[in-house]
Amino acid sequence: MEHDTIAVVDFGGQYAHLIATKIRRLHVLAEILQPEADVGRFIGYKGIILSGSPSLSSYDEEGDYDKAIFDLPIPILGLCFGHQEIAKHYGGKVEHTRREYGPATLELRGDCPIFKGLARRETVWMSHGDAVTLCPEGFQEVGVSLRNGGVHPNAAIANNLLGRYGFQFHPEVDNTVHGEEMLKNFVINICGCRQDWTIGEFLEEATERLKEQARGRDVFLLVSGGVDSTVCAVLLGRVLGAERVHLLHVDNGLMRKGESEAVAAELRGRGLGKNFHFVDGSERFLTALGGVVDPEKKRAIIGNTFLEIFQEEAARLKLEDCLLAQGTIYPDTIETGGTKRADVIKTHHNRVPAIRKMVEAGLVVEPLANLYKVEVRELGEELGLPEDLVWRHPFPGPGLAIRLLCSSGEAPRTEARAAETLEKLVAEVGVDGKLLPVRSVGVKADLRCYERPVMLWGDVSLERFEKLAARIFQEVPGVNRCVVDIGGKGCKETKPLAATVTKERLALLREADAIVMEALRRHGLYRSVWQCPTVLVPLEIDGRGKELVVIRPVSSKRAMTAMVFPLPPQLLSELREKIMALGDISGIVLDVTTKPPGTIEWE
Ligand code: XMP
C-alpha cells in the first residue's frame, strides 16, 4: 500500500462511513471493508476499526465474520457493536441493558494512551441497547459513563499489550466533543500511521479511476446545479475533456425561484456549454405526482421520471452508449439502505431501484460516491470553483416536492398515552403543546420512523423549548419532531387538509423559501447555517389558513446528525411578518428538532 491505511469494517451502522471520513480528515487513508472479507485482506493495513451496527437482533449473535481477525498483529478499535464483539471474543460478557441514547459523560480510569491529552471527563455520544457487563481478563476498564446519577461500567476498555481497544460510545460523531482526538490517538500514536493523504491525492486517484471506468466512452450527467452535481460535472470535464461530457438539466418544476435559469447560465459560463442540454419537464413531474401522499412514493416517482427523461434524451441525442454519471455522495447511499445492513431512511432520487440495477451492471460513474459534503466542497475549491457555488446550501434532488408535506386529510392514529404524557411534560415547564395530525420522516436508533410532530407555544426561551423537545422524544411515543410557534397565536383546534403537490402550493412555498434565503443572506448568516428548509404543512388552525409554515434552520457538518441553528429574534420577527403576508397561512413555527430523531427534510 502506497499510503498507511486503516481498514474500517462496516457492520451497517449509520455512522460506519463517517469513521472513514474522520480518519481521512487526519490525512490518513481509510477504506471500508465488509465483515465477510477474507482475513487475508486485512494484512497490510496499519489498524482496524470495527463499526457499530443497527441492532444486534438484525445481526447474527455470533456475527458472520471470521474471528481470526483478532489473531492479526494489527491494532483493533471496536466502536459500540465492535466494542461488544471485542469484549465477547476475549471472554467478557455482553448483555441487553436499558438503551442509552444521546450525550453522556465519560470518566476516565487509569492512563490509557488512546485518551492521551484529554480531560478526566469528556462529553461523548451514546446510542446502544446492549452493554459490556464483564470486562474480559487481561483488559482494563479505562472509562465509565456517568448518566442520570448512575455509573455505567466498561464504557471504554483496553488491552495495550494486544493493541485492542473498545468504546461503547461513538467518537466518530461530532457530538463526541473530542472524538477526533481519540481517533487520532489510535490512528497516529497507536497504529503509527503517517499523515500524507490529501484531497489532492483523492483528485489524482479519482482521475485514474474515472479514466479506467469510462474506457473511452462519453458520459452523460444529470446536473441539478447543486454543489455535488456541479463539482462532478467540472471534475468529469477536467478528466475526460469537455467534449466527452454531456450535461442534461431537467427543470422538474420543483426548483427554487429562478434556479433553473441560473444553473444553465453558470454551466455554460464554465466551458461546459457545448454539450449542455435543457428539458422543461415541469408538467410531467407534476402530473406524475398528482394525488400522491406517501413520501417514499413521491421520491420513487421523481427518481423514475428523471431516469425516463434522461433515457429519452439519450435516445434523441444518440447518446445511448454513454455511461450515466451522477454526483451521488455518501449520505445518499447510506440513507437509502445502500450498504448491506443499513436501514432505508429515505430513497434518494439517485438511488431508485432502476438506477441501482444500472450501478450493479457497471453503467454508472459516481466519482464523489465516497465523499461527504465537506469533502465535496474541499474538492470544489481544489478545482477552482467560486466560493458562492461551493458554499451553496444543499438542496435535495426531489426539490421542493419533499418540502410540501402531503396528507390524505385523515389524522394518523396515536397511542392513547401520548397526549396524556405530553400534557404532563408541557405543564411541568409551564407551556402548551399539541400533537399535530400529520406525519413526517425521521430516524431513531439507525431506523426509519414516520411519526407525528408536536407544536409547542408559551413564554419561555427557545433553549428551554429545545430541552423540552429532547424529553418529549424520550417519553412521548410516536413523536419525532417538535416545532415552536413563532406566529404568536398558539393552537387549539387543528384540521388536517387533504393535499398533494400542486402548482399553487409550489408557488407559495417558492415565495416563502425565497423570503427565508434572502433574510439569511442579509443577516450574514447564510454560510453559518448548514441548511434551512422551509416546509408547508397542510393544516387549518383554529379556523385560520390552509398551510402551516415551518422554518428548519440546522447546523451540521455532514448531514448525518444535525443541531438546531439559533436564528436571532430580529430575523424571526421579519420572517413572521413577511411570510404571514403571503396569505392562506395558518401559522408559522420553528422546527427545534435535532437529527436524530428528525431528519433535516420532513419527507
Ligand atoms: P435528511 O433529510 O435525510 O437529509 O436529514 C440529509 C441531507 O440530504 C439531503 N437530501 C437529499 N439530497 N437527494 C439529494 O441529493 C435526495 O433525495 C435527498 N433527500 C435529502 C438533505 O437536503 C440533507 O442535506
Distance CA 247, CA 233 (A): 8
CA distances in angstroms from 409 to 490, 537, 552, listed in the order given: 21, 11, 23
Residue in 307, 309, 300 with CA at minimum distance from that of residue 279: 309
Question: Is residue 438 within 8 Å of 524, Cβ to Cβ?
Answer: no
**Res 55: pLDDT:** 54
Contact, 530 vs 547, CB < 8 A? no
177 CA to centre of ligand 1 in angstroms: 25
Residue 398 in contact with residue 295, Cβ under 8 Å?
Answer: no
**480 CB under 6 A from ligand 1?**
no
| Per-residue model confidence as pLDDT tens digits over 455-467 | 999 999 999 999 9
Per-residue model confidence as pLDDT tens digits over 134-156: 999 999 999 999 977 788 899 99
- Write down the pLDDT at residue 346: 76
Determine the distance separating the centroid of ligand 1 and the alpha carbon of 332, expressed in angstroms.
7
The whole-number pLDDT of residue 347 equals 79
80 pLDDT tier (thresholds 50, 70, 90): very high
46 pocket-lining for ligand 1 (C-beta < 6 Å): no
Q: Which of the four pLDDT bands, split at 50, 70 and 90, describes residue 67?
A: very high
DSSP for 330-354 reads: HHHHHHBT-STT--BS---GGGSHH
Which atom from ligand 1 is nearest to the alpha carbon of 347? 17
Protein residue whose Cα sits closest to atom 19 of ligand 1 = 396
The secondary structure element, H or E, covering residue 495 is strand 494-496
- Contact present, 117 and 124 (Cβ < 8 Å): no
Backbone angles phi, psi at 33, to 5 degrees: -125, 145
Cα 436 from Cα 209, distance rounded (Å): 50
Residue with CA closest to ligand 1 atom 24: 394
pLDDT of residue 558: 74
Buried b (16+ CB within 10 A) or exposed e, 428-465: ebebbbbbbbbbbbbbebbbbbebbbbbbbbeeebebb
Place 219 in a pLDDT band, splitting at 50, 70 and 90: very high
Contact 603 CB / ligand 1 (< 6 Å)? no
Average pLDDT over residues 354-363: 88
Can you give the pLDDT at residue 258? 84
Report the C-alpha gap between 274 and 268 in whole angstroms: 8
- CA-nearest of 149, 176, 148, 172 to 471 is 148
Q: Is 600 in the pocket of ligand 1 (CB under 6 A)?
A: yes
How many Å apart are CA 492 and CA 433, to the nearest integer? 9
Lowest-confidence segment of 251-260, 318-327, 343-352, 388-397 by average pLDDT: 343-352
Identify the pLDDT of residue 58: 32
Query: At 374, which helix (H) or strand (E)?
Result: helix 373-382
% of the chain beyond a pLDDT of 90:
69
Query: Ligand 1 atom closest to Cα of 601?
Result: 2
pLDDT higher than 70, residue 62: no
Tell me if the pTM is above 0.85: no
CA 62 to CA 84: how far, in whole Å? Answer: 11
598 Cβ inside 6 Å of ligand 1: no
Angle between helices 462-475 and 416-429 (to 10 degrees): 150
Of the listed ranges 35-44, 291-300, 584-593, the least confidently predicted one is 35-44
What span, in angstroms and rounded, lies between the C-alpha atoms of 594 and 471?
Answer: 12
Active site residues per annotation = 80, 170, 172
In ligand 1, which atom is closest to the CA atom of 348?
17
What does the pLDDT read at residue 335? Answer: 67
Cell 491529552, located at residue: 117
Q: What are phi and psi of 405, to 5 degrees?
A: -65, 135
DSSP string, 53-111: -S-STTS-TT-SS-GGGGGSSS-EEEETHHHHHHHHHTT-EEEEEEEEEEEEEEEE-S-
Check: CB of residue 471 under 8 Å from CB of residue 480: no
Question: Pairing between strand 534-537 and 547-551?
Answer: antiparallel
Q: What grid cell was written down for 586?
A: 395558518
349 touches ligand 1 (CB under 6 Å): yes
Q: Whose CA is nearest to atom 22 of ligand 1?
A: 396
| HEC readout, 120-156 | CEEEEEEEEEEEEEECCCCCEEEEEEEECCEEEEEEE
Answer yes or no: is pLDDT of 59 > 50.
no
Say yes or no to pLDDT of 448 above 60. yes
pLDDT, tens digit (0-9, with 9 covering 90-100), for 330-353 = 777 766 666 666 667 777 878 888
For 159, which DSSP code? Answer: E
Rounded-to-integer distance, Cα 22 and Cα 115, Å: 17
List phi, psi (to 5°) of 249: -110, 120
Q: Is 347 in the pocket of ligand 1 (CB under 6 A)?
A: no
pLDDT > 90? residue 205? no
* Protein residue closest via CA to atom 7 of ligand 1: 559
Computed over every residue of the chain, the mean pLDDT equals 91
Contact 116, 188 (CB under 8 A): no
pLDDT grade for 57, boundaries at 50, 70 and 90: very low
pLDDT at 221: 94
User: Residue 109 C-alpha to ligand 1 middle, in angstroms?
Assistant: 40
Task: For residue range 260-295, list pLDDT tens digits in order.
Answer: 888 778 788 888 888 999 999 999 999 999 999 999
Q: Given pLDDT bands bounded at 50, 70 and 90, which one contains residue 444?
A: confident
Q: Do strands 494-496 and 547-551 pair parallel, antiparallel, or not at all (unpaired)?
A: unpaired
445 neighbors 128 (Cβ within 8 angstroms): no
8 Å CB contact between 214 and 205: no
Q: Give the number of other Cβ atoms within 10 Å of residue 19's Cβ.
A: 29
CA–CA dist 487, 589 (Å, integer)? 7
Q: Give me ligand 1 centre to Cα 460, in Å.
A: 32
Residue 587 predicted with pLDDT over 50: yes
If 0-12 CB within 10 Å is exposed, 13-18 middle and 19+ buried, where does residue 413 land? exposed
- Cα–Cα distance, 582 to 202 (Å, whole number): 47
Q: Are 12 and 53 in contact (CB under 8 A)?
A: yes
pLDDT over 90 (residue 504):
yes
148 Cα to the center of ligand 1, angstroms: 34
Q: What is the rounded average pLDDT of the residues 517-523?
A: 97
Q: Is the CB of 559 under 6 A from ligand 1?
A: yes
- The stretches of 195-328 forming alpha helices (DSSP H) are 199-214, 227-240, 259-267, 282-289, 295-316
- Averaged pLDDT for residues 170-185: 94
pLDDT higher than threshold 70 for residue 75? yes
Q: What's the CA gap between 66 and 37, in Å, rounded?
A: 8
Q: Quick check: 517 and 264 in contact, CB under 8 A?
A: no
Residue 9 pLDDT level (bands cut at 50, 70, 90): very high
Q: Categorize the per-residue pLDDT at 63 as very low, low, confident or very high, splitting at 50, 70 and 90.
A: low
pLDDT band at 60 (very low <50, low <70, confident <90, very high): very low
Contacts of 253 (CB under 8 A, 6+ apart): 281, 282, 283, 285, 286, 503, 506
The one-letter amino acid code at 279 reads: V
**Average pLDDT estimate for 230-256:** 94
